[in-house]
Every structure is written in structure tokens, then in C-alpha cells.
Amino acid sequence: MSKSYNFTRALSIGGFKESMEAPQKHWSVFDLRRILLIANIGWFFGVCILVGIIYWTVGYAYQKDLARKESLHEVEALEKKIAELNTNLQGLKDLNLKTVASTLDYSTNIQIVLETSRGEERAFLLSIIPEALRIQVTHRIPASATISMAAFESNYGRSDLARQHHNFFGIKALDPRWEGGSAVMTTRDRGVETKASFRVYPGIADSVLGYAEFLSGSVYYRRAFDESSGERFVAQVLKGGYCPDSFYMGYIQTIMKRHDLKRLDFLKSNAQASEEMLSDAGMMEKQGAIQVGISQ
């Protein structure tokens, strides 16, 4: 009798055993290289991100520091402007224009000065008085000194140097720090005719300011700024070497007297200022005592 075989059952049993007994997987060289490549790419991108963060942080800190320095610079510039403004305001206190009455009184003095002249001389005084009053506040130069010196040096604005180049004080372009223009003109030194290079200004306001800066910027004229009188101011300037001509002061005194320019001097000496401060303090103390007495 022949035997029969059930191949279907055998195949199913064999397949089941094959699925149950899966062989263990081994890492090949290709797999290891792929893993290493992925790790390197991840490390590279991580470093790039880290460098980017560091770069952004440093850049941000630099911008903040730059902005802080610019802010400090602006603050310093503002503080400087405030200090200059306070200086000018302190000078303006010397004008004694706190009341309408004092303002009218000062306007009257200006009108009296103008009434002493006519024609070109009056036009000259009209143009220079405001500038002289301005530097009297900003540079402590008596107005009578500025006006009389300009009138003498420029012949009341009639000289070629004044008409053509707005140089009303005969200031020469000898200072190496001078950055403006210059012009060669005929002049007289100690009575001898010669040629010299003089400063050129855009207008009378620039000329007056240049005169003020020229005097205040030189050690030779430092003593002049201790004077509150225009006549004494000019005398100290001449002692400093402004002009060697012996007749200079006589002409200045004549011009000052002719136009009564002393009316425009409102600067006070240190002694006068101290005396007024003590007087004001005494008055305030007295008013305080009166108010205390009233309240009691």
C-alpha cells in the first residue's frame, strides 16, 4: 500500500518556523558610514546655528554699545549747549531789563547816543550798536569800547577794508588758526605806509564777533576783561599790544565823549557785583523777617 504526503501542511509548518526564527541583523560598513555622515551633517548644522547665535549676540551688543555712546555724545552736546545758555542767561541778568521801566530807560540811552550823529555816522551806529550789546553780554566787552574802536578803525564804516571786506577793526590775518579769507590792503604802521594781509568777514555781525573772539582768545588782552569801563578796557587792550600808535587812545576818548557811549555800558565790576549781591541778600533777609513778623 502506497503512502500519501500532505505537502500543504508541511509548507505551512515550515513557513511558520521560518517566520518565528528570523536571523539577527548585522551592521554593514555602508550602514556605519551612513550613520557617521548623518551625525557629521547634524554636528555641522549645530555648529552653524551656534556661530549664528554668537554672531547675532555680539552684533546686537555692539549696536547697543554704539547707540549708548551716541546717546552719551548727544547728552554731552546737550549739556554743553545748556551750559552756554546758562552763561548767556547769567549775562542777560546784567542787562537790568527785568521791568518795563528799565527797558524804556535803556532804549532812551540808545536814542540819546543815536541823536549825536547824522548821515553815514548815524547809519554806522545803528548797525553796530546791536552787535556791540550782544558781545557785551556774551564776551563781557563794554559796548563803548567796541563801538569807539570800530568807529576809529573804519572811519565810521567808510574805509575800503570795511566797505569791501567788512573788517571794521583792522584785524590782520596773521594768526595761523584763522580759517577765513584774507585781503592785502594798504595801511599805516607807526606812520609808515605799508601793505598787510587783513581778515575778510561776511558781514558786520561776523566782524564784531571776530573782534570779540580775537581779544578773548589772546593772553595779551586778558587783563582787559577785568574792566567794566569801556575806556579802561581799551587802555588795557592797547597795553597788550593791539596798536603801538600813541595817539590811538586820544581818538577813542574823543569818540566816546562825542557820542556819550558810556550810556551803553552796563557791565559791573566784581566789587560792584559783590556789593549788589550782599545788598540783595540783605533785602531778602529783611523781607523774610517782615513776613515772619506778619505771620506771627
Pick the closest to residue 187 from 200, 172, 177, 175 (CA basis).
172
- Interacting residues of 151 by C-beta distance below 8 A, sequence separation 6+: 121, 124, 128, 255
Q: How far apart are CA 146 and CA 209, in angstroms?
A: 10
Average model confidence (pLDDT) across the chain: 78
Q: Which of 12-21, 82-91, 226-235 has the lowest mean pLDDT?
A: 12-21
Does the model's pTM come out above 0.75?
no
Q: What is the pLDDT of residue 283?
A: 47
Residues 167 and 160: their CA atoms lie apart, in Å, by 9
User: What's residue 191's pLDDT?
Assistant: 67
Confidence of residue 209 (pLDDT cuts 50, 70, 90): very high
Residues 252 and 152: beta-carbon distance below 8 Å: yes
Question: d(Cα 122, Cα 129) in Å, to the nearest integer?
Answer: 10
pLDDT of 12-51, one tens digit each? 555 545 555 555 556 666 677 777 778 778 878 888 888 8
Alpha-helical runs (H) found in 94-193: 100-114, 119-138, 143-154, 160-165
The string of pLDDT tens digits covering residues 95-117 is 444 444 556 577 888 899 999 99
| Cell, residue 107 | 532804549
Q: What pLDDT shows up at residue 239?
A: 94
Q: What is the pLDDT of residue 284?
A: 43
Q: Please work out, in degrees rounded to the nearest 5, the angle formed at the alpha carbon of residue 247 by the alpha carbons of 164 and 176.
A: 50
Q: What residues does 182 pair with on adjacent strands?
A: 199
What's the whole-number mean pLDDT along residues 3-16?
A: 53
Please, what are the domains in the chain? 94-268 (1.10.530.10)
